[in-house]
């Protein structure tokens, strides 16, 4: 009986030892599996990276022909556009050569006619830029005052801006010049329709749009026609832009000046050498 009992105790001790040993084995196995799994992941990552690099290299090689074809297509498209532009430029160059030949022919013809008619060309003109410092705009007058300092400005000098005729110098006082605008009731400018060469007189009426008078009854004048100075009477030289016809009726023809006279800041006073002529005409009138 004692022998059985000791054997039973011995077996129990072996079972406990086996359980402890099994736990240790399981713990060691878990650590080994974790290490194997980590190493396996590294192997997989390295293998995956190598495969990706190899695949990318293969794709790059396969894409080269497509890139070459795309570049070739773009080159052909650009070449087509260049050929098209070249054709346009050649046509424009041909037209310019024709115009150049016509210009040379007209230049020769003009020189021959000038010699034949003993034509005296207009003298070179000078101008003075002046700042507008005041304006006089009421029911009786449309004028501005410009600071001219000690510049050589005289009565009768023509006043223009970038867009066209402004008026003419009426008086000089100290370092200022009074300029009568083309809208002033005292302004009378010989003009003509640029396209048809129909002549008339542009007269101010103290409104923003002067009238065209003394025009032949059968004259063909339309809205939109450009009005320029005619040079008649020698007060204004010919060809200076004045305005545009904006209204045509049986009783009057209205012209809108090219220059925004109500917004003048700077003007150019041009000397055409007409001041003596103006004074002579006024003295003869008196």
CATH code assigned at 208: 2.40.10.350
Q: Is residue 45 in a domain? A: no
Q: Nearest 5°: phi and psi at 182? A: -70, -10
Largest Cα span, the chain:
171
Per-residue model confidence as pLDDT tens digits over 171-224? 998 889 999 999 999 999 999 999 899 999 999 999 999 999 999 888 889 999
Q: Are 194 and 182 in contact (CB under 8 A)?
A: no
Q: Is residue 5 in a domain? A: no
Q: How far is CA 116 from CA 58, 103, 105, in A?
A: 86, 20, 16
- The three-class DSSP label of residue 181 is strand
Which pLDDT score, from 0 to 100, does residue 128 have?
A: 87
Tally of CB atoms within 10 A around 166: 26
Per-residue model confidence as pLDDT tens digits over 110-133? 777 767 666 555 556 678 889 999
Q: What is the mean pLDDT of residues 263-272?
A: 88
Which pLDDT score, from 0 to 100, does residue 251 have?
A: 84
Are 117 and 174 found together in one domain? no
Tally of CB atoms within 10 A around 145: 18
Which of 64-68, 82-86, 271-275 comes out lowest in average pLDDT? 271-275
Range of the domain at 148: 126-285
Are 62 and 200 found together in one domain? no
Q: Are 146 and 177 in contact (CB under 8 A)?
A: yes
Report the domain count for the chain.
Answer: 2
Are 270 and 161 found together in one domain? yes
Which pLDDT score, from 0 to 100, does residue 37 have?
A: 55
pTM (2 decimals)? Answer: 0.55
Are 87 and 179 found together in one domain? no
Are 131 and 238 found together in one domain? yes
Q: What is the distance between the terminal CA atoms of the chain, rounded to a whole angstrom? A: 171
Residue with the bigger pLDDT between 73 and 216: it is: 216
Are 243 and 272 found together in one domain? yes
As a whole-number percent, the residues of the chain with pLDDT over 70 amount to 67
Per-residue model confidence as pLDDT tens digits over 92-102? 887 787 777 67
Are 152 and 274 found together in one domain? yes
Which pLDDT score, from 0 to 100, does residue 95 have?
A: 78
Are 191 and 236 found together in one domain? yes
Which pLDDT score, from 0 to 100, does residue 121 have?
A: 59
47, pLDDT greater than 60? no
């Amino acid at each position: 009986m004692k022998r059985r009992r000791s054997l039973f105790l011995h077996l129990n001790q072996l079972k406990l030892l086996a359980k402890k040993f099994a736990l240790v084995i399981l713990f060691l196995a878990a650590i080994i599996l974790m290490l194997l799994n980590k190493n396996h992941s590294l192997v997989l990552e390295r293998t995956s990276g190598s495969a990706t690099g190899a695949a990318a290299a293969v794709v790059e090689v396969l894409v080269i022909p497509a890139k070459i074809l795309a570049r070739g297509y773009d080159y052909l498209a650009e070449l087509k556009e260049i050929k098209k532009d070249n054709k346009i430029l050649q046509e424009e160059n041909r037209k310019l050569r024709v115009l150049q030949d016509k210009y040379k022919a007209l230049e020769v013809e003009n020189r021959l006619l000038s010699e034949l008619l003993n034509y005296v060309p207009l003298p070179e003109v000078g101008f003075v830029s002046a700042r507008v410092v005041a304006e006089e705009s009421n029911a009786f007058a449309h004028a501005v005052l410009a600071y001219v300092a000690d510049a050589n400005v005289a009565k009768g000098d023509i006043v223009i801006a970038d867009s066209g005729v402004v008026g003419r110098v009426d008086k000089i006082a100290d370092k200022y010049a009074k300029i009568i605008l083309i809208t002033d009731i005292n302004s009378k400018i010989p003009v003509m329709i640029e396209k048809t060469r129909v002549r008339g007189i542009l007269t101010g009426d103290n409104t923003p749009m002067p009238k065209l008078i003394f025009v032949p009854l059968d004259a063909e004048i339309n809205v939109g026609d450009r009005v320029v100075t005619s040079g008649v009477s020698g007060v204004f030289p010919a060809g200076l832009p004045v305005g545009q016809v904006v209204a045509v009726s049986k009783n009057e023809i209205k012209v809108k000046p090219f220059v925004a006279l109500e917004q003048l800041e700077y003007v150019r006073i041009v000397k055409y050498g007409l001041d003596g002529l103006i004074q002579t005409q006024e003295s003869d009138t008196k």
